[in-house]
Amino acid sequence: MFAKADIVTIHVVLSERSRGLVGRADLARMKPTAFLVNTARGPIVDEQALLEALQQRRIAGAGLDVFSVEPLPVDHPFRKLDNLVLTPHLGYATADGLRIHYGQMVETIDAFIRGGELPRRLA
């Protein structure tokens, strides 16, 4: 997959099995025109290997909104790269999404307090 994909996105839970899941060898297989996007958890990707791949332009770029150390330190080398987009871990947040999410939580809390049937299971 790494050798053929134009964009690789990471969508797994951080666990002992997924820590370092994307490593140096995986990044080396990527095309020089490919991008890596990690919005899951920072430690899933070997950040040092990613830093080197980006600095040496072995891949076209990356997008990260999660890091091994959060918040990302001001002097972190990622901040100096022009082929890396950094955002806080808020890419999922929209006004409508938050309104729905928190509205459902209030409905569920209200139903619980009243002793009624819970309207839905929140994930």
Catalytic center residues: 41, 70, 89
- For the CA atoms of 85, 89, 90, 91, the dihedral, rounded to the nearest 10 degrees, stands at 50
pTM for the predicted model, two decimal places: 0.76
pLDDT digit string (tens) for 33-75?
A: 999 999 999 999 999 999 999 999 999 999 999 999 998 999 9
Amino acid at residue number 3: A
Q: Is 26 strand, coil or helix?
A: helix
